[in-house]
């Protein structure tokens, strides 16, 4: 069922959203010799004139000459389109995706949370849809300037309707090969939905509580009450995943708790958005999992409360 993509090094990439994630991975691909086309917004003029600077724990580099665009209709159709927009802007994809995607191409959703692959399926026709979960600390620190602080592995899985597990497909292997050629560690998810729920086990409590309590992960874990609350939120996430036949063992939850308690102090992506007065990615990270719970009548009172609190905080950010 897999149609072969263009052979390696010949595949072209489009980056929709050249921020901390899209900018970093796109720059790594171009550095490795791939043809990459970047869609930019606020710093289009800056990058066009002065290039893209990447300070990275894997080695600093600067790209002086890039294919940059501020209009998707100027971009060539590409073999692989990487979507790295904030999910709060996903309504733009109806307009942004079709022009840059070859008919036999693939879309890779490098986004947080649940439901992003499903949402674009009606837009992209017969193209392959992949989901990528980025385990990375990377920030955009200024115009055309990305700071990659730690980690960087991507977990890749291919999407099928109703999130039927597809295993490790040829498309997955093709794209993984390109990323690995660019020095990016890849793990395969044979079941994309299971991978998404496993990441939500971490993302829901820590992204949510870090904003509501204005706290780092180490502070949340040091306090006995919020350590327990994190665990209870994880249990609720696990119960919803189980209702979709994705069983996440209790030992995974305990591993996440232990790991987070030992991790160096970490500021979650939602907390970074909060600190910079940016709209929070509430729907993809909390709202869609909450809707998934409601659809299966799984009680998740604490996720629901977190969702309400985050919406309150978000409305205050937007009122500023």
199 is catalytic: yes
The closest of 243, 232, 234, 217 to 295, measured between CA atoms, is 243
- Residue closer to a second copy by CB (options 58, 312) is 312
| Minimum separation from the CB atom of position 207 to a second copy (A) | 15
Per DSSP, the residues of 76-140 read PPEEEEEE-S-GGGGGGHHHHHHHHEEEEEEEEE--SSSSHHHHHTTTSTT-EEEEEEEEEEEEE
Smallest Cα–Cα separation from 14: which of 64, 83, 65, 93? 83
Give the nearest distance from C-beta 314 to a second copy in angstroms: 9
Shortest distance (Å) from residue 215 CB to a second copy: 7
Q: Are 162 and 156 in contact (CB under 8 A)?
A: no
Return residues touching a second copy (CB under 8 A): 209, 212-213, 215, 219-220, 223, 225-226, 228-229, 232, 301-302, 305-309, 311-313, 315-316
Smallest separation, CB 313 to a second copy (Å): 7
Pick the closest to residue 284 from 119, 92, 82, 80 (CA basis).
119
Q: Among residues 222 and 255, whose Cβ is nearest to a second copy?
A: 222
CB of 94 within 8 A of CB of 120? no
Smallest gap from residue 211 Cβ to a second copy (A): 11
Catalytic residue among 28, 86, 140, 199: 199
Closest to a second copy by CB, 35 or 231: 231
Kindly write down the DSSP assignment for every residue of 150-201, as one continuous string.
Answer: EEEEEEEEE--GGG----S-HHHHHHHHHHHHTT--EEE-SSHHHHHHHHHH
How far apart CA 176 and CA 154 sit, in angstroms, is 9
Nearer to a second copy among residue 56 and residue 217 (C-beta): 217
Q: Which residues are catalytic?
A: 199
């Amino acid at each position: 069922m897999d149609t072969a993509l263009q052979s390696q090094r010949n595949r072209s990439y489009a980056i929709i959203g050249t921020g901390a994630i899209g900018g970093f991975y796109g720059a790594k691909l171009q550095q490795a010799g791939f043809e990459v086309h970047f869609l930019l917004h606020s710093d289009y003029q800056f990058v066009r004139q002065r290039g893209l600077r990447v300070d990275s724990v894997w080695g600093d580099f600067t790209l002086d000459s890039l294919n940059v665009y501020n209009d998707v209709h100027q971009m060539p159709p590409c073999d692989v389109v990487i979507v790295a927009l904030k999910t709060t802007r996903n309504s733009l994809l109806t307009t942004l995706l079709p022009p840059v995607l070859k008919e036999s191409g693939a879309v890779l959703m490098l986004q947080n949370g649940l439901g992003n692959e499903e949402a674009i399926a009606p837009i992209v026709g017969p193209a392959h849809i992949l989901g990528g979960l980025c385990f990375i600390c990377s920030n955009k620190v200024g115009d055309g300037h990305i700071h990659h602080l730690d980690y960087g592995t991507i977990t890749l899985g291919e999407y099928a309707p109703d999130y039927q597990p597809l295993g490790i497909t040829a498309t997955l292997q093709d794209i993984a090969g390109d990323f690995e050629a660019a020095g990016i560690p890849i793990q395969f998810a044979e079941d994309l939905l299971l991978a998404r729920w496993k990441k939500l086990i971490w993302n829901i409590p820590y992204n949510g509580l870090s904003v509501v309590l204005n706290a780092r992960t180490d502070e949340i874990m040091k306090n006995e009450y919020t350590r327990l609350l994190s665990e209870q939120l994880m249990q609720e996430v696990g119960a919803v995943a189980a209702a979709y036949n994705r069983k996440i063992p209790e030992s995974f939850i305990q591993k996440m708790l232990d790991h987070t308690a030992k991790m160096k102090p970490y500021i979650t992506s939602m907390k970074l958005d909060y600190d910079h007065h940016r709209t929070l990615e509430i729907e993809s990270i909390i709202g869609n999992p909450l809707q998934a719970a409601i659809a299966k009548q799984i009680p998740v009172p604490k996720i629901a409360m977190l969702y309400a609190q985050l919406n309150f905080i978000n409305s205050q950010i937007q009122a500023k």
